[in-house]
């Protein structure tokens, strides 16, 4: 039996520390599924584990891509599953850690199959985005698939600002003549491992204070300079994320620096709230307070292994 020990929870809750503790205890390796930490140009603003943490246990999918790479969640699913299968050949355990719910789901249960889309449809959708903007795609999706539009509006609203994903939703609707949502949850993908899911949580005020402190540390560590170096590429999909968008607005003269920093904190707090909403829906997750004795968490995992 192979076990994928999965650690989820909101940003700044302590997932990295716990993942290293578990990797050392089970003498295994860590697969990151934080979609912001894939990109090597974005170290400070994505809270990549520091050199000491990275040296404490073998990590995979940390700063392994460039912002110039077209890297999708489907690409990650294929690459990560191949890596996990490789790691299972030498150990019965792998630790999966990250706050990107969509990427966690990609590994635990996979994605639905979609028909191939004619390239002419894809080109038309891309052209519409370039000429009309993302608002046009939003209106199209609301018309073509109102059910899915309402779902992401309420559960994951930042998706509405993601051009790559919005174009994908619309091209599937136009290319098949069916709503995007009709292709979801069609079949179960088989996995050759047993997931043991651990969630970390804290009172909202504690989470928010930790986020505020982390943003201040990022600014002190040079986030402003990192964002300035990336500013010429601000329209890339990888950079449409909290911590960079706000500073790009500062460079554009739309925000003052203090206001931009407060916006980073506010938007990160909102993001953490959505993370918790996503992960709380996940069945079979055992939640622990972020200050819980890590040995208590190990005892729970060992009990799950023994009973499986």
Instruction: List, in order, residues 6 or more apart from 67 with CB less than 8 Å away.
Output: 39, 41, 42, 230, 233, 236, 238, 239
Q: What is the pLDDT of residues 4-48, one digit of tens each?
A: 999 999 999 999 999 999 999 999 999 999 999 999 999 999 999
15 marked as binding residue: yes
- Taking the domains of the chain in order of start, what are their residue ranges? 3-111+189-307, 119-183
Q: Report angle CA 222, 226, 230 to the nearest 5 degrees.
A: 165
CA-nearest of 47, 138, 153, 168 to 100 is 47
The dihedral over CA atoms of 143, 148, 154, 159, expressed in degrees to the nearest 10, equals -90
For the cut 90, the answer to whether the pLDDT of residue 96 exceeds it is yes
Q: What is the pLDDT of residues 238-296, one digit of tens each?
A: 998 999 999 999 999 999 999 999 999 999 999 999 899 889 988 899 999 999 999 99
Give me the percent of the chain exceeding a pLDDT of 70.
99
Instruction: List, in order, residues 6 or more apart from 36 with CB less than 8 Å away.
Output: 42, 45, 46, 100, 241
260 marked as binding residue: no
11 marked as binding residue: yes
Q: Is 135 buried (19+), middle (13-18) or exposed (0-12) by CB count in 10 A?
A: exposed
Residue 177 half-sphere exposure, CB side, CA atoms within 13 Å? 0
Widest CA span of the chain, in angstroms? 59
Q: Topology of domain 3-111+189-307, per CATH?
A: Rossmann fold (3.40.50)
Q: Binning pLDDT at 50, 70 and 90, where does residue 207 land?
A: very high
CA dist 297 and 27 (Å) reads 16
Q: Is 104 buried (19+), middle (13-18) or exposed (0-12) by CB count in 10 A?
A: buried
The number of residues making up the chain comes to: 308
14 marked as binding residue: yes
Q: What is the pLDDT of residues 152-204, one digit of tens each?
A: 999 888 889 988 899 999 999 998 888 999 888 766 578 999 999 999 999 99
Residue with tokens 């500013």: 231
Distance of CA 207 to the CA centre of its chain: 18
Q: Binning pLDDT at 50, 70 and 90, where does residue 71 land?
A: confident
Query: What's the pTM value of the predicted model, to 2 decimals?
Result: 0.80
277 marked as binding residue: no
**Cβ 193 vs Cβ 3: under 8 Å:** yes
CA dist 30 and 39 (Å) reads 17
pLDDT of residue 70: 83
pLDDT of residue 115: 76
Residue with tokens 């993370």: 275
Q: Is the CATH number 3.30.1330 carried by domain 119-183?
A: no
115 marked as binding residue: no
pLDDT of residue 187: 62
16 marked as binding residue: yes
CA dist 130 and 124 (Å) reads 10
265 marked as binding residue: no
pLDDT of residue 186: 65
Mean pLDDT of 79-100: 96
CA end-to-end span of the chain = 9
């Amino acid at each position: 039996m192979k076990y994928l020990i999965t650690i989820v929870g909101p940003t700044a809750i302590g997932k990295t520390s716990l993942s290293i503790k578990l990797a050392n205890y089970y003498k295994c390796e860590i697969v990151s599924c934080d979609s912001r930490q894939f990109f090597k140009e974005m170290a400070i603003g994505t809270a990549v584990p520091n050199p000491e943490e990275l040296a404490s246990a073998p990590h995979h999918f940390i700063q392994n891509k460039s912002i110039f790479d077209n890297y999708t969640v489907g690409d990650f699913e294929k690459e990560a599953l191949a890596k996990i299968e490789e790691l299972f050949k030498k150990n019965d355990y792998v630790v999966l850690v990250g706050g990107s719910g969509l990427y966690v789901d990609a590994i635990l249960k996979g994605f639905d199959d979609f028909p191939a889309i004619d390239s002419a449809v894809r080109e038309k959708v891309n052209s519409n985005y370039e000429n009309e903007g993302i608002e046009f795609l939003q209106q199209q999706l609301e018309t073509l698939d109102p059910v899915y539009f309402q779902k992401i509006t309420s559960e994951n609203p930042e998706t509405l600002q993601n051009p790559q994903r919005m174009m994908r939703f619309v091209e599937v609707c136009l290319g098949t003549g069916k709503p995007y949502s009709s292709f979801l949850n069609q079949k179960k993908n088989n996995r050759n491992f047993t997931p043991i899911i651990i969630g970390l949580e804290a009172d909202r005020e504690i989470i928010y204070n930790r986020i505020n402190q982390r943003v201040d540390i990022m600014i002190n560590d040079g986030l402003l300079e990192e964002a300035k170096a990336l500013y010429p590429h601000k329209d890339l999909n990888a950079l449409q994320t909290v911590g960079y968008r706000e500073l790009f607005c500062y460079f554009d003269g739309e925000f003052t620096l203090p206001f931009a920093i407060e916006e980073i904190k506010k938007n990160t707090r909102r993001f953490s709230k959505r993370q918790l909403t996503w992960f709380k829906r996940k069945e079979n997750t055992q939640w622990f307070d972020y200050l819980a004795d890590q040995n208590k968490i190990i005892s729970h995992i060992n009990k799950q292994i023994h009973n499986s």
